[in-house]
Amino acid sequence: VRSEGPKLVPFFKATCVYFVLWLPTSSPSWFSALIKCLPIFCLWVFLLAHGINFLVSHQSASRILAGLIFSAVGDAFLIWQEQGYFIHGLLMFAITHILYSSAFGMKPLDLKAGLLMGLVSSSCYAFLYSYLSGPFTYLVAVYIALIGFMGWRAVAGMQLCNDLWTWTKLSACIGAMLFMVSDLTIALNKFCFPVPYSRFIIMATYYAAQMLIALSAVETRDEEDFRKRS
């Protein structure tokens, strides 16, 4: 907290600016796109503040940075979703989930977690299916599969039962779950029925998810110091 907290101050300030201004979604503009993307820009800076050498030597961190870049582009597209750019945003976030999955890695495999996440993802799609039509019937299926896979890799890396978890892996796990909550709220609100306070739920969980996933890229120095002392 002491080492990483100060680097996140710009992110928290930018998030507060978004919620204070609360620009209407009915009148999209480049200014509203900037305000919405500003917290994600701050997470770019957060990772870049650890140095280029850190990003080069840690592929997971560089992939998470790439995911944040695609997320910002997706956020901008979604500002104009009513003008036909929703699918473009969907594609950008699909690429984000692929990058995050790659960053989390395939070890350990943890098939039980994969089965559980598969059941959750299938249940969500089964509920949404009757509300979908046209290309969304297939696009939403692919998207849910990708975010479910990302969630599986985040959960699998935590290893609570084996007492091998770290705070960075816990951050990835909680972040992935919040990302799923955010996207499920978007889907329910867009395709099924109006969700009360949907915008607040979507953005609060989304920003928290992105922050936690960005934090998961950071190597903790406390563990190294502890090993040296012991």
Q: Label each residue of 130-168 as H, E or C.
A: CCCCCCHHHHHHHHHHHHHHHHHHHHHCCCCCCCCCCHH
- Hey, how many other C-beta atoms are within 10 angstroms of the C-beta on 115? 11
Q: What is the pTM of this model?
A: 0.93
User: Do 103 and 63 form a contact (C-beta atoms < 8 A)?
Assistant: yes
Residues 6+ apart with CB under 8 A from 66: 99
**Residue 4 corresponds to which tokens in the numbers above?**
């990483």
Question: Which residues, at least 6 apart from 171, have a Cβ–Cβ distance to it below 8 Å?
Answer: 212, 213, 215, 216
pLDDT for res 121? 98
* 181: CB partners within 8 A, 6+ apart: 201, 205
Residue 9 pLDDT: 96
Measured CA to CA, the distance from residue 122 to residue 116 in angstroms comes to: 10
Tell me, what's the pLDDT at 227? Answer: 43
What was the pLDDT predicted at 164? 62
- Between CA 202 and CA 91, with CA 114 as vertex, the angle to 5 degrees is 45
**pLDDT attached to residue 171:** 94
Q: How far apart are CA 48 and CA 30, in angstroms?
A: 25
- Predicted local confidence at residue 159, as pLDDT: 73
Q: What is the pLDDT of residue 1?
A: 63
pLDDT of res. 225 = 40
Mean pLDDT, each 10-residue run in order, the chain (230 residues): 87 98 94 98 96 93 98 97 96 98 94 96 98 97 98 88 76 97 98 97 98 88 42
pLDDT confidence of residue 199:
97
Give me Rg for the CA atoms of the chain. 18
- Do residues 217 and 169 lie in contact, with contact meaning Cβ atoms separated by under 8 Å? no
